[in-house]
Amino acid sequence: MFNKKPVVKEEKKLSLDGKKKKAPPELLRGFRDVLPEEQAKWDAVRDQARGMADAYSFGRIELPVLERADLWTRTLGKHTDVVEKEMYTFIDPSETQVALRPEGTASIARAYINHGMWNLPQPVKLWYDLPMFRHDRPQAGRYRQHQQIGFEVLGVQDPVVDAQLILIATRLFQDLGIKVSVQLNSIGTPESRQAYLTQLTAYFRTHRAKLSEEDKHRLQKNPLRLLDSKDPQTIELLAAAPQILDWLDEDSKNHFMKVIEYLDEVQVPYVLNPHLVRGLDYYTHTVFEIWQEGDAGDRAQNSLCGGGRYDRLVEVMGGERPAPACGFAFGIERAVRAMTESGSAPELRNRPKIFFAQLGDAARRVGLRVFEEFRKAHVLIAEASGKNALKSQLEAANKLGVAYALILGQKEVLDGTILVRDMESGAQETVDILKIVPMMEKKLSGGSVEAES
Ligand code: AMP
């Protein structure tokens, strides 16, 4: 919690008078810009998610970035990484302790309660595309601000929901050309977990001396988290540790078996992973992650997607009626990285195929109108309005790799014409400016334009 440690680093002074050259402004560590050249990949991921959401009738929801901090401190668990060390928490000017959203599910449950969504036909299916903030140690694929797309289904306990969500997430990545494996486990209910935790704690107590300081802390505060420890000693010990599936009550076992049956039905392969627990307290029954295939290494970096069932969350938050629920979320940054690694990332789309070169003031004025005509016809054209010389404008056109350049100079403005230059052959023709849009449309669609020019 940042208000506890108000160590304010000195701000770098920026000089606008140009006399003293200061260091360039810096991004905060773990934050990044997503530049235009990356957008095609981001769009591909978003389009895929939107397509899935439409196909399975999920309604999109927007949620505020800032909420009361206790929304998460009370629900994720006191001894989780997010609450213990990763939240951006501060006191706002009205003396309220607020936090930048570290994850979406608690806000979804809050919105379900606030809007009385139990009055709607159940289940309520929501999806979001929102930034998340976690003050984690930045590394490849791990940022302090990242963008999550999430799908949540509230109001139904049926295991078919869990299976359908796993199916949606799996197909979403597969359709993006990413090879994935589904890691699956059940952590039962808090009650059935209790008996297991007693066993697990007893087992690790006998091996306490071999544990790292961090894992000793986990043993004391949140022993379930020992299951996803990264410490090699603990991983070795886990091989002989009691397994949670052996301790599930009948209902939890049945729920899990059904999920597996449904996944078999739709031929979604999965790996039963007894060490998968997910970090947050609100999970019950099914938990799952989707990993990029071939990356068995550091899980925190490879997990493309995480999700599970959270049957008690709405109730714990004070919902009028319980609303069993299940959901998943994935980071766009990691999906984009996986797509790039798989060689399935799309090229920049919507590249203009025409460049507009204008010479002189009159041409600029007419050019504004011509641009509007192309926009109305949904034909994309590029320009380099800062350049005056024809040579430099044509160089810019070359760099963009357009098929045609339109050249409008003083003479053409007076004649009511425009030059069309084929960038590959260098051939030029003069065309009536009033016919330029339909003519270029034809040229771009590969049609013959002889009769009109
Ligand atoms: P989690 O809520 O931690 O399970 O995160 C869900 C998904 O969000 C993960 O599977 C990642 O794809 C993504 N994610 C989580 N934390 C980060 C982060 N710090 N930077 C980038 N992506 C993240």
Question: What are the average pLDDT values for consecutive 10-residue runs of the chain, which has 453 residues?
Answer: 55 58 91 94 96 98 97 89 92 98 97 97 98 94 96 98 98 96 94 90 94 92 88 92 93 97 97 89 93 65 89 94 96 96 79 93 93 95 86 92 96 96 95 96 78 39
Block residue for tokens 């004391």: 220
What is the rounded distance in angstroms from the CA atom of residue 442 to the CA atom of residue 132?
46
330 lines ligand 1 (CB under 6 A): yes
Query: Please, what's the b/e burial string for 168-201 (b: 16 or more CB within 10 A of its CB; e: otherwise)?
Result: bbbbbbeebebebbbbbbbbbbeebbeebbebbe
pLDDT attached to residue 5: 56
Q: How far is the CA of 278 from the centre of ligand 1 (A)?
A: 11
pLDDT attached to residue 207: 94
- Phi-psi label, residue 176: left if phi above 0, alpha if psi -120 to 50, beta otherwise: alpha
Q: How far is the CA of 30 from the centre of ligand 1 (A)?
A: 13
Query: What DSSP string runs through 300-329?
Result: HHHEEEEEEE-TTHHHHTT-SS---EEEEE
Of 100, 170, 333, 337, which is best to mutate to test ligand 1, by the most ligand atoms within 8 angstroms of its C-beta?
333
pLDDT attached to residue 113: 97
Of 103, 142, 291, which is best to mutate to test ligand 1, by the most ligand atoms within 8 angstroms of its C-beta?
142
Residue nearest to atom 5 of ligand 1 (CA): 306
pLDDT attached to residue 12: 53
Neighbours of 257 (CB within 10 A): 12
Give the number of the atom of ligand 1 that is nearest the alpha carbon of residue 306: 4
What's the angle, vertex CA 248, arms to CA 110 and CA 209, rounded to 5? Answer: 95
Q: How far is the CA of 330 from the centre of ligand 1 (A)?
A: 6
Of 100, 334, 336, which is best to mutate to test ligand 1, by the most ligand atoms within 8 angstroms of its C-beta?
334
Q: 60 by DSSP, 3-state: which?
A: strand
223 lines ligand 1 (CB under 6 A): no
Contacts of 172 (CB under 8 A, 6+ apart): 48, 49, 52
Residue nearest to atom 4 of ligand 1 (CA): 306
Do the Cβ atoms of 429 and 453 come closer than 8 Å?
yes
307 lines ligand 1 (CB under 6 A): no
146 lines ligand 1 (CB under 6 A): yes
φ/ψ (deg, to 5) at 330: -140, 155
204 lines ligand 1 (CB under 6 A): no
Q: How far is the CA of 422 from the centre of ligand 1 (A)?
A: 48
Q: Which domains does the chain have, with CATH numbers?
A: 36-189+249-342 (3.30.930.10), 354-442 (3.40.50.800)
143 lines ligand 1 (CB under 6 A): yes
pTM (2 decimals)?
A: 0.88
106 lines ligand 1 (CB under 6 A): no
129 lines ligand 1 (CB under 6 A): no
Q: How far is the CA of 398 from the centre of ligand 1 (A)?
A: 41
305 lines ligand 1 (CB under 6 A): yes
Structure tokens at 336: 């984009």
What is the rounded distance in angstroms from the CA atom of residue 11 to the CA atom of residue 8?
8
304 lines ligand 1 (CB under 6 A): yes
Neighbours of 129 (CB within 10 A): 18
Structure tokens at 383: 């320009």
- From 55, 12, 75, 48, select the one nearest 279 (Cα to Cα): 75
Q: How far is the CA of 329 from the centre of ligand 1 (A)?
A: 8
pLDDT attached to residue 453: 37
pLDDT attached to residue 11: 53
136 lines ligand 1 (CB under 6 A): yes
Residue nearest to atom 1 of ligand 1 (CA): 306
- Give the DSSP H/E element, type plus range, for residue 367: helix 361-376
155 lines ligand 1 (CB under 6 A): no
134 lines ligand 1 (CB under 6 A): yes
Q: 286 by DSSP, 3-state: which?
A: strand
